[in-house]
Structure 1
Amino acid sequence: MSGDGSPELQVDGSGLRVGLIAARWHGEIMAGLLEGAQRALAEAGVADVTLVRVAGSFELPVAAARLARTGGYDALVALGVVIRGGTPHFDYVCEAATLGLTDVAVGTGIPVGFGVLTVDNESQGLHRAGLRGSREDKGREAVLSALETAVVLREVAPRQG
């Protein structure tokens, strides 16, 4: 979801179990994303949260897959930051994180909130991190998207097992 045109989401997440996976690269931006995500979880009434920290955005899919395989999670949320540099590394990491997290969601049926910022520079990341003065709170948006999807899926097709 992007700032303009994003829906106003309000979700009752009480009773849901959520796995929150957060990268460590770009500490200031990640602190904002993580705080926004944790605030959204609390506001939605989610009390059962497992936080897993990984090195970077490339590692998010494997951690999400492991949590998904352990069972019992209604939703996962992945938070990370990839800032464009002067090499193709940005493209590889962004694609790997996106496709990996998509594979986890589709393969397991567990919604994965995509809170991975893929930005051209640090300033863009800071504006999306939910920090004081930020224009957007992508950590919050990722949580609310995952929770809403979990609630909808529970209503239309309860998970088996």
Structure 2
Amino acid sequence: MTVFEGTFTQTESLRFAIVIGRFNDLIVNKLLAGCEDCLKRHGVDINPDGNQVDFYWVPGCFEIPLVARKAALSGRYDAVICLGAVIRGQTPHFDFVAGEVSKGIAAAAFQSGVPVIFGVVTTDTMQQALERAGIKSNLGWNYAMNALEMGTLMRQVNGLGGSSYEQLPAASAVQVLSGDRP
């Protein structure tokens, strides 16, 4: 049996897109800082003038899936990290935005075959969002770890031959997707 598992090493050739929704910037900037810190500590050059990370700023979370999909389909990236914050208000707006953003990010990953990391904090209160963005922990770090792991995993699965999910042989697809482990 072959086991495929992502790693957190050999990151110097990985490329990432980070799509950031500006709305709720107090939270989002903290998530971005955590994400950048994680990538940097794992050997990724986060310099905007470098060649490993590109930053895409969009107005809010609703716009994230479109840009994430375009970035993923470009063939330039091993993973796309989506960062944003949707905080419940007094109207049903939260439910519409949170649900559609989640579906859109998942669709971008499935349509492109590139890992698209859901890094959108969805909370009932600003306090909960702050806790997830730095007071108790910073989920931005976790989202970057997910991107590192999935980026390296997909390179293994694709045999370094591209980023298309369709390149995965049928027998291996069953093995990987079924969660079989030794």
- Paired amino acid for 2:98: C
**Normalized against structure 1, the TM-score is what?**
0.88
Give, in angstroms, the shift of residue 45 of structure 1.
1.4
Q: CA deviation at 1:157?
A: 2.4
Q: Residue 142 of structure 2: SS of its match in structure 1?
A: helix
Check 1:10–1:128 CA distance in 2 against 1; reply closer, same or farther (3 A cut).
farther
Please give the residue correspondences for 1:139-158 in structure 2 after superposition, counting only pairs within 5 Å.
139-158=140-159
Identity %: 37
Alignment match, 1:11: 8
Query: How far apart, in 2, do the equivalents of 1:146 and 1:96 lie?
Result: 21
Taking the TM superposition and a 5 Å limit, the aligned residue runs for 1:55-94 are: 55-94=59-98
Give distance in 2, aligned partners of 1:148 and 1:93: 28
Shift of 1:160: 3.3
Matches within 5 A, 1:35-50: 35-47=33-45, 48-50=52-54
Q: Secondary structure at the match of 2:109?
A: helix
* Cα shift readout 1:59-112 (whole Å, capped 9, x = no counterpart): 100110111122210000000000001111101101111000000111111111
Give RMSD over aligned pairs: 1.6
Q: 1:140 aligns to what SS in structure 2?
A: helix
Secondary structure, aligned partner of 2:77: coil
User: What code does the residue aligned with 2:162 have?
Assistant: Q
Matches of 1:99 and 1:92 in 2, distance apart? 11
Count of paired positions: 150
Aligned partner of 1:128 among 122, 125, 132: 132
Unaligned segments of structure 2, at least 5 residues: 1-5, 46-51, 164-182
Of the three residues 110, 117, 120, the one matched with 1:116 is 120
Would you say the 8 A contact 1:19–1:73 is kept in 2?
yes
100, 104, 110: which one pairs with 1:100?
A: 104
Query: What is the aligned partner in structure 2 of residue 6 from structure 1?
Result: none
Counterpart-to-counterpart distance in 1, 2:20 and 2:37: 15
Report the TM-score when normalising by structure 2: 0.78
Flag the structure with larger Rg. 2
For the 8 Å contact 2:7–2:153, the answer to whether it is kept is no
Q: Structure 1 segments of 4 or more deviating over 4 A?
A: none
1:24 aligns with 2:30: no
Q: Distance in 2 between matches of 1:21 and 1:66?
A: 11
